[in-house]
Structures are given as structure tokens and as C-alpha cells.
Amino acid sequence: MTLEDIVSRYRDPLESDPLELMREWKKSHPDTKLIGCYPVYTPVEFIHAAGMLPVGVIGGGNRLEIAHADSRFQSFVCSIVKSTLELGLTGKLDFLDGIIFHSICDPARNLGSVFTRNFPRLLVEYIHFPQNMTSPHTVNYLTAEYRRLITGYEQLAGRTITDDAIRRSLRIYNEQRRLLRELYAIRAQTPQNVSAVESYVVSRLATLLPPEEHIAMLKDALATVRARDEKPKDRIKVVLEGSFCEQPPLELIEGLEAAGCYLLDDDFLTGWRFFVEDIPVEGDPVHNLAEAYLRRSVYSGVKHDTRERKAKHLIDRIKETGAAAALILSAKFCEPALFDYALYKPALEKEGIPHLFLEFEEKMWIFDKARSEVETFVESMLFD
Amino acid sequence: MAEAAAAKTSYQGQMHLLQKEIMGRYFERLTRAAEQGDGKAVYMLISGNPVELVHAFDMVPVYPEINALQLAVKKVALPFIQKAEEIGYSMDNCAYVKADVGMFLGDRKTPFATIPLPALILCNYVGCNVYLQWFEHLAENCDGEIYNLDVPFLRDPSGVPSKEDVEYVVKQLEEVIEVCERLTGKKLDWAKFKRIVALSGETGELWSKIKALTKNVPSPYDAYFDSVTMMAPLYCLRGTEDGLRFFETALKEMEEKVRMGTGPLPKERFRFVIEGPPPWPFLKTFRDMFSKWGAVAVASTYSTVGGLWEFGFKHDANRPLESIAQHMLQWNVTNRDFRQRYAQIERYVNEWSADALVIHSVKSCRLFSAGQGDMREYFTKELDVPTLLIESDIEDPRYFSEAQLKNRIDAFFESLEHRKLTRDKRLAGGKV
């Protein structure tokens, strides 16, 4: 399957109702248990090693009407919290056997509690990810946290999750993440050969399809991209940051590029390509995954690392890729992203790196305003 | 509503006066630290604060949350909030952070104290994720050392932390001790530390007795509006003789009120439980909206943000670090999930004989507020507790709509009055 085939087959389903793909999948695999994974990062290996399938529950897109969830979560709470609850309240998560939330922000954590009360049928798990990245004791804590999670999934799956099974899953997800890193590396070098939308479609499928199937697809996509030799357009090169949880509509991503940018890098779906290198398979795989969270993971606005200044990773990335500007695309009401911006802004200004700040909502329909802001920004740079 | 006319009430007692005095001394200490370098400041967060350790090193505890709330109470927060918004903070970010950062980036002079720069930014991350960002932002703007003391959220349905959680927090507290030893140049005096923890134990016990007194009818004080007066000494001065004396005085005063059968209002007509932080910029206006109905808060979740003592927790001087870890992990509302908060409120409604639940939803604090519509759903539909959900903010005066709040509160108590009336008639065997 070429990249063009993948996009033409999957773009529409991903835009209209991404989870419908998995509801259909479940019909032909009635015995496989499915675990929903809320953003940002989930150690999916444990779910996979139990013979279950992790499925990214990453909002409801812009075609889902919010009719019930807004009476539970207030107007000042972000869209993804509400759309996820709406999916649950309207029976659209009935195909799941469990769902997992994490300590990423206060609304997401409270959503986990609300799920527990409203959907007693689901196994609702919650990971407290450590926020002390400097203590030598943290890795033991996180290993214990992962072992606790494993026990819960063993009960749900009705089987023991052996270290060997985790190693097998780790190898598979290592490969998937490695291929995604390759795709991103190509985009950073030759953005004319793979658009942000194409990259997004392929990456989003990583959150849905069984990884074995997705790896084959990724290899095909990479083959297509490597065979392309497009001429670069007159666009400015930017690094996009701030969309690590709630996801912008595909039309918005497309609009950003059409307005005159090449997105050399972004943090879309960052939890599904969370590591800068492969996680070691030998030894205690649970400990290895915990250690990787602390030492081998990418920057995340929900992982607070006091070892370096907030904007360092962003400025480094801009310099490494040769981007000319930063595009901060934050979900409306997303406190982690909005707080980060307050530190990015002075740091980028100090470095003399131009930036544009935009807010989006997954449910947004109208993109004219965002597009014209980007166009103005691009023009100001091209004709400066 | 003839009785509602006498709305403006003065809420001052002996306890309030003593609080002003000892907190005044505390703020003077901050100013001395800031202006004369007398003492090293440790910034901490209220939730499950380990203030005992800070006192043991004779360091000065500073709570940016108290800075923010004082700025709001003194009605000087807005210019700081706007300054923060000018430099890149969003309208939708927590206004506690914005007010404090706006103040911090200036000369740190406030109407109540000059705030010292921190030697240590001790981010005791207990529940609130914004804490992490708040302290990161302070750390980026000064030379103070930052330590993220990570406290795992309570996530087992039992509401009890695991052995590994406790160990993890204890190990980190040991690291904090090392940091304080390095910063102060002196070793921890364990005997002194244990005495401080013992004082905290006694203080917590007194506080818990004070909180039980509102089970009386009438309630001797308002467990929301008067509890906040007691919360400042509880966090800033817990573990000191001054702090202990304050709670002894407060208990005596409140016990006396129980004996006399008096409360904060001329007549107690409604008893309610309140959930959520108060609107600091308009505290008295907000209080008067309830007072006019003879409504007294008999319990509040907000008074348990820094610690939950009323259900049996006590600091133990024989296990100082473990008990501080337990306090941080288990015994405060912010580290508990909604299910546990619902259970806490349910207990208040039943054991404190409340007629209703009032949920004050604040935009700034999503830890408290995000999802409170589900709480309303649970209390009204599952438990048949009359519940009012109102919105404003803890810090930002722009979100306080007085007329709207007043209308909602009036309508609620009117319907509650009707409900009471019909229930009383039913109980008396009369026709409804």
C-alpha cells in the first residue's frame, strides 16, 4: 500500500470518527480485549503483552456533538475532556474493556474519576507518572507503579503477563517507534517529500491498528516517501509545539502548510513516539520501560523536568532542524500548553526566533482566521 | 423575607483578633527575611505541606498561594494578573499563579509583607498539576534551587497509599533534608524536629476537635468563612508554640459558644456543606449572600486542602518522616480523587446534619472544579441532597458576577425553604 493509498483510505474515517475503525475491528476479533488509552503517554507494551490491544482514545474530532458532557465539565475545560466523556455517555466506547488515564493535568485526572463512577463496566486505570526526575529512587517507584498496573491487566486478561511477553511487545513497539522516528527525520530534512497531513494520518493509525499491521503499513509509507523527489516550495520552515494532547483537526494542519509553512517537526501524538531511542529489551523489561520514561523520553509539557530550562528543547530542535520560526499551537484551555507558552515566549524572543501563537479546539470548524494569521506571519517573514 | 433584612453582619471574635496578631508577626518575619536577609526562605505549596521540616531548620516558610490570596483579599491582585497576561500568560491560566508571578517579577512589596526570594523552591506536588508549572516558572525567574517533591496521587479505590508510595515520599524527604542541610550549613537536629512534629500532632488534634464542634446546632462558627481564618496559622505556624496557642484559644472560644448556644448568625436556619475554594476578592460579599438566609456552612472541603485531620490522622513524633509522608499522600483533599471527595462530602452531609450542598466552582482551580457537574449529578440524583452549583473565581475579580450569584443563591434557598416547609408538614402529619 502506497502512502497515497493509506491517506485516501484512512483520512476520511479518521476525520469523521476515528474509533469507528476499531469498533469494526472488534467485530471481527470479538475475543480480543481493547483498552482505551487517553493521551499523552501509555506504556502500551503491558496491554499488548496481555494479548489485548491498546487503542488511542484521543478525543472525538470535530463531527461529534457535545450534548451531555458539558453539564458535567464546565465551559472553561478543554474540548478533549468533554468529547471523551461524551463518547462514553453516548455508548461510543462500549467496544472497550478498559480505559487508562494519567497524571497529565487536573481535568484529565478528574475525568478518570468521573469515568469510574459512570462506567462501572470498564476497568479504569490511572497512572501517576513521577515528577521528580532527579531522585535515584524515582525509577523504583515507577517500576512498582508499572507492576501494579500489570497486575490489574493480568486479572482483566485472565492470564499472566510474563517478562518474556513484555520483551516481545517491547521489540514490536521499539520497531514501530523507530519507523515513526524515521518518518519524522525525513520530514525534517525534506518536508517537500511528505506533508504534515500524510505524516499525521500514518502516525494516528499507530494509535489504533495492531502494531504488527501498522509496522507493515509504515514500511510501505516510508518506501513511498523515499522514492519521492519533490522540488521545495517557497515556504518558511517551522517547528510546531503545543498539540501533545488534544489534536487539531486535520484540515487545520493542512491549512497551516497551505498558508506557507513546512512543519519540520511537531508534537502531535507525541506519547505514541515517546522515546528518542530504542528501549533495551534485555534485563528487567518493566524496569527498562520505567528507566526510559525518565532518561530516554522526549520533552513533554506534562513531564516536568527540573534539569533543564523549559524552552531549551524547543530552541535546540529549531536549531537542529534549521527551522526559521516556531509555531505554538495550543489547545484552548490546555493549562500545561498555555503555561509553557509563557516561558517559550521570552526565551524565543531572547534567541531572536520569530514565533506565532495560535489556539485551536478539536471541535473547530472554521479555519479562515487561523489560516490568515499564519499567512500574515509567513508574509512578514518572507518579505522581511 | 423579613429576617433577610439584617444582612450585614460582623464576624469578629477573639480567634480572629489573635489570628491577625500572630499572622502579622509571621508576615513581619517574611519582610525581615526579604529586607535584612534574616533567614532563608523556602517556598512551598499549601496542599500537604511539610512545614515541620522547614521549621526544624529555622528556615522561613513562604506560600505563594498565601501571597496570591492576600493580594486578592486586599483587592490589589488585578494589576499583577494583567501584568502576567501582558508577558504571555493566558486569560485561561490559573489566576493564583498569574497574581503571584506578576508580584514576584516586581519588587515583591505587598500591602502585607515584602516577599523574600527563595533559597529553596520546594514543589510539594500534592494533587495540583499547576503547582509544578507555578514553581517551574518561579525557578526560571530567580536563582533559588528547585526540588520537585513528587507525591503519588491516591489511586487505589481503598484510598490508601501503597507501601512503595510511602517509601518513595520518605526517600525524597530525606533528600530534602540533605538540601536544607547544605543550604543552611547545619545538620538536622532530630530531637528538635521530633518536638516540632509532636507540636503538629497536638495542633492537628485541636483543629480536629474544633471541626467536630460544628456538628452542634447551632454551629458555633462558619466552617467555611471562619475556617479560612484558622487555616493560615495551620499552615504557616503548625509545629510552633504560637500555632498551638492559637488553636487552644480557638477551641476554648468555640466550646464556649457551644455552651452558650450561639453561632455566627443571630439565627441558624439552614446548614450547608460547601465544596470548592472561596472567591477571595469578594469574601464578605459572598458570605453575606448566605447570611441573609440564616445559612451557615457546617463543613467545607476547602478547609481540608492543607490537611485532613478530622477523620483520625495525627502526626506521630516517633515516625516523623513516615507521618509527614502520610499527611502528604493520604490526609488532604487535594491528593484524593472525586470518589473519595464525594465520600467526604457525603459524610459531612450526614454527620454534620446538613440540609444542602453548595458547590462553588472556580475557574482558576481545575483540581477542584473540573467535573463538578458530575458531583452535582451524584448528590442530587443518587443521594437526593439539594445541590447548588455556582461559578466565580478564587482570585480574578473579573469573574465575580454579584447579581447573578445573588439570584442563584436566593432562588436556591427559597426552594430549600419550601422543601423544608413541606417536609415539616409531612412529618407533623399535616397535608402537604
In a domain, B321, yes or no: yes
Which residues of A fall within a CB distance of 8 Å from B359? none
> Are residues B92 and A133, on separate chains, in Cβ contact within 8 Å?
no
In a domain, B246, yes or no: yes
The DSSP symbol for B191 reads H
Residue pair A142/B164 in contact (Cβ under 8 Å)? The answer is: no
pLDDT reading at B286 higher than 60: yes
Reported confidence tier of residue B432, pLDDT bands at 50, 70, 90: very low
Cα A46 to chain centroid distance, Å, stands at: 18
Asked, as a colleague might, if the bond just before B218 is cis with ω within 30 of 0, I would say yes
Please give, rounded to a whole number of angstroms, the shortest distance from the CA of A67 to a CA of chain B. 14
In a domain, B26, yes or no: yes
> Are residues B168 and A138, on separate chains, in Cβ contact within 8 Å?
yes
Asked, as a colleague might, if the bond just before A114 is cis with ω within 30 of 0, I would say no
Q: How far apart are CA B405 and CA B400, in angstroms?
A: 8
> Are residues A105 and B129, on separate chains, in Cβ contact within 8 Å?
yes
Cell 459524610, residue? B347
Q: How far apart are CA A10 and CA A18, in angstroms?
A: 9
The ipTM estimated for the assembled molecules is 0.96
Q: How far apart are CA A17 and CA A353, in angstroms?
A: 37
The DSSP symbol for B378 reads I
- What's the structural domain count of chain B? 1
What one-letter code names the amino acid at B99? A
User: In this predicted model, what pLDDT tens digit does every residue of B301-314 receive, in sequence order?
Assistant: 999 999 999 999 99
pLDDT reading at B7 higher than 60: no
DSSP three-state, residue A197: helix
**For residue B358, what is the enclosing H or E element?**
strand B356-362
Which residues of B fall within a CB distance of 8 Å from A113? 337-339, 371
Surface of B (68-127) touching A: CB under 8 A: 84, 87-90, 92-94, 97, 125, 127
In this prediction, residue A382 carries a pLDDT of 86
Pairing relationship of beta strands B60-62 and B270-275 according to DSSP bridges: unpaired
**For residue B328, what is the enclosing H or E element?**
helix B320-329
CA distances from A110 to A38, A340, B40, B125, B215 (A): 13, 22, 37, 16, 30
Please give, rounded to a whole number of angstroms, the shortest distance from the CA of B264 to a CA of chain A. 33
> Are residues A128 and B152, on separate chains, in Cβ contact within 8 Å?
yes
Q: How far apart are CA A194 and CA A227, in angstroms?
A: 11
> Are residues A144 and B162, on separate chains, in Cβ contact within 8 Å?
yes
What domains sit in chain A, N to C, each tagged with a CATH number? 18-161 (3.40.50.11890)
DSSP three-state, residue B361: strand
Which residues of B fall within a CB distance of 8 Å from A128? 152-153, 155
DSSP of B255-313: HHHHHHT--SSSS--EEEEEES---GGGHHHHHHHHHTTTEEEEEESGGGSS---TTS-
Nearest CB partner across the interface for A131, out of B88, B125, B165: B125
Please give, rounded to a whole number of angstroms, the shortest distance from the CA of A265 to a CA of chain B. 23
In a domain, B267, yes or no: yes
In a domain, B36, yes or no: yes
In this prediction, residue B11 carries a pLDDT of 67
Reported confidence tier of residue B6, pLDDT bands at 50, 70, 90: very low
Segments of chain A with pLDDT less than 70: none
The DSSP symbol for B93 reads S
DSSP three-state, residue A209: coil
User: In this predicted model, what pLDDT tens digit does every residue of A310-322 receive, in sequence order?
Assistant: 999 999 999 999 9
Q: Is A116 left (phi over 0), alpha (psi -120 to 50) or beta?
A: alpha
Q: How far apart are CA A348 and CA A325, in angstroms?
A: 9
Please give, rounded to a whole number of angstroms, the shortest distance from the CA of B148 to a CA of chain A. 5
In this prediction, residue B2 carries a pLDDT of 38
User: In this predicted model, what pLDDT tens digit does every residue of B42-60 receive, in sequence order?
Assistant: 999 999 999 999 999 999 9
Reported confidence tier of residue B8, pLDDT bands at 50, 70, 90: low
DSSP of A26-69: HHH-TTS-EEEE-SS---HHHHHHTT-EEEE----GGG---SSG
**For residue B320, what is the enclosing H or E element?**
helix B320-329
Q: How far apart are the first and last CA of chain A?
A: 43
The whole domain housing B172 covers: 3-427
- Most A CBs within 10 A among B120, B339, B374, B392, hence the mutation to make, goes to B374
In a domain, B270, yes or no: yes
Q: How far apart are CA A366 and CA A353, in angstroms?
A: 29
User: In this predicted model, what pLDDT tens digit does every residue of B344-353 receive, in sequence order?
Assistant: 999 999 999 9
Which residues of A fall within a CB distance of 8 Å from B170? none
Residue pair B18/B249 in contact (Cβ under 8 Å)? The answer is: yes
Which residues of B fall within a CB distance of 8 Å from A74? 361, 363, 369-370, 372-373, 391
In a domain, B432, yes or no: no
Which residue(s) pair with A261 in the sheet?
A236
Q: How far apart are CA A55 and CA A122, in angstroms?
A: 14
pTM for this entry: 0.96
In this prediction, residue B430 carries a pLDDT of 64
> Are residues B87 and A73, on separate chains, in Cβ contact within 8 Å?
no
DSSP of A307-336: TS-TTHHHHHHHHHHT-SEEEEEEETT-HH
Reported confidence tier of residue B5, pLDDT bands at 50, 70, 90: very low
Surface of B (340-379) touching A: CB under 8 A: 342, 361, 363, 366-367, 369-374, 377-378
Residue pair A219/A182 in contact (Cβ under 8 Å)? The answer is: no
Please give, rounded to a whole number of angstroms, the shortest distance from the CA of B210 to a CA of chain A. 30
Please give, rounded to a whole number of angstroms, the shortest distance from the CA of B374 to a CA of chain A. 5
Q: What is the total residue count of chain A?
A: 384
DSSP three-state, residue B223: coil
Phi/psi of residue A107, nearest 5 degrees: -60, -40
DSSP of A62-107: GG---SSGGGTS-TTS-HHHHHHHHHHHTTTTTT-SEEEEETT-HH
In a domain, B126, yes or no: yes
- Most B CBs within 10 A among A335, A345, A349, A359, hence the mutation to make, goes to A335
Closest to A177 (Cα-Cα) out of A92, A266, A273: A273
pLDDT reading at B4 higher than 60: no
Which residues of B fall within a CB distance of 8 Å from A246? none
Residue pair A173/A48 in contact (Cβ under 8 Å)? The answer is: yes
In this prediction, residue B408 carries a pLDDT of 98
What are the start-end ranges of the H helices in B37-162? Answer: 51-56, 64-73, 77-86, 95-104, 130-140
> Are residues B88 and A345, on separate chains, in Cβ contact within 8 Å?
yes
What one-letter code names the amino acid at B240? T
- Taking the CB of residue B59, how many other CB atoms lie within 10 A of it? 22
Phi/psi of residue A238, nearest 5 degrees: -130, 160
Of all residues in chain B, what percent carry a pLDDT higher than 70? 97
